[in-house]
Amino acid sequence: MLGVPFPDENTPVTGDPFMPAITAIIEMDAKRAPQDKLACVSKCSQHIFEALSTSNNEPANADDFLTSLVYVVLKANPPRLHSNMQYMIRFGLPHSLMAGESGYYFTNLSCAVAFIEKLDGSALNLSPEEFEGYMRGQRTPAALTKRHQVANDTQKLLEELQGRQQKLHQGVDALTMELQKWVQVVHSQLDEATSQFDK
């Protein structure tokens, strides 16, 4: 619903491509110095751009980045996010937060947090009833349902492949036993032939 550009079905991706960004934003709470916390925000944002570059053939734009950052913050649910942001504002170097790459990333994080705080159905083009249904877990997005279907299909395929592999192993074991029996028969026939020849 946020319009986050996930990789298409033809791109081989294992897991959530935004997981490194999620990890980076969670790590922010463990840092002590404001510049280290800001470095985590920058690292998170760079991981988002990397994930976007794998999902699109074209360069990521600001809209894609902001929606992806909202997604990352929602998925990560970073501990003490407001406190960490206030700490950076009060004790960080002002030029780091106001200018340059890290300033851009921090501004986007502030926008993402403000969006999440005011999130309602109209922001996602949903009726109040639909929004409440999603918030209570009574509904699931179509994309999520499709992902669950793909996961179920993949699980069934894996089970089928495991069954085939088991049959193949059984066949190999049976063939190995037959081969051993045949080798024993050949050895006994050779022994018989050589003993008759020796006479």
**pLDDT exceeds cutoff 70 at 3:** no
pLDDT at 131 exceeding the cut of 90: no
pLDDT-above-70 percentage for the chain: 82
Longest dimension (CA), the chain: 106
Average the pLDDT over each of 49-58, 101-110, 135-144 and give the range with the smallest value: 135-144
Q: What is the pLDDT of residue 78?
A: 94
pLDDT in tens, 105-127: 999 999 999 999 888 777 777 77
CA–CA separation, 194 and 103 (whole Å):
91
pLDDT at 7 over 60: no
CATH 1.20.1050.80 fits 19-139, yes or no: yes
Whole-number Å distance between alpha carbons of 23 and 43: 10
Mean model confidence pLDDT for the chain: 83
Vertex 192, ends 187 and 198: CA angle to 5°? 120
Q: 113: closest CA among 69, 76, 151?
A: 69
Tell me what the mean pLDDT of segment 5-32 comes to.
Answer: 78
User: Among 64, 16, 69, 77, which residue's Cα sits nearest to residue 43?
Assistant: 69
Distance CA 197, CA 188 (A): 14
The alpha carbon dihedral of 39, 40, 44, 50 has a sign of: positive
Q: Which two tokens stand for residue 47?
A: 């991981």
The alpha carbon of residue 66 and the mean position of all alpha carbons in its chain are separated, in whole angstroms, by 18
pLDDT at position 30 over 90:
yes
| Residue 141 pLDDT | 60
How does residue 140 score in pLDDT terms, banded at 50, 70 and 90? low
Query: The whole model's pTM is what?
Result: 0.61
- Judged against a pLDDT cut of 80, whether residue 2 lies above it is answered with no
* Angle CA 170–176–177, to nearest 5: 95
| Mean pLDDT of the region 117-144 | 73
Which residue, chain included where needed, has tokens 């929606």? 67
pLDDT cut 90: percent of the chain above it: 37
Mean pLDDT check: name the lowest of 31-40, 64-73, 91-100. 91-100
What are the pLDDT digits (tens) for 161-191?
888 888 988 988 999 999 999 989 888 888 8
Indicate the range of 1-5, 106-110, 116-120, 144-148 predicted with least confidence.
144-148
pLDDT confidence of residue 142: 57
Q: Which two tokens stand for residue 29?
A: 């709470």
- Give residue 160's pLDDT: 87
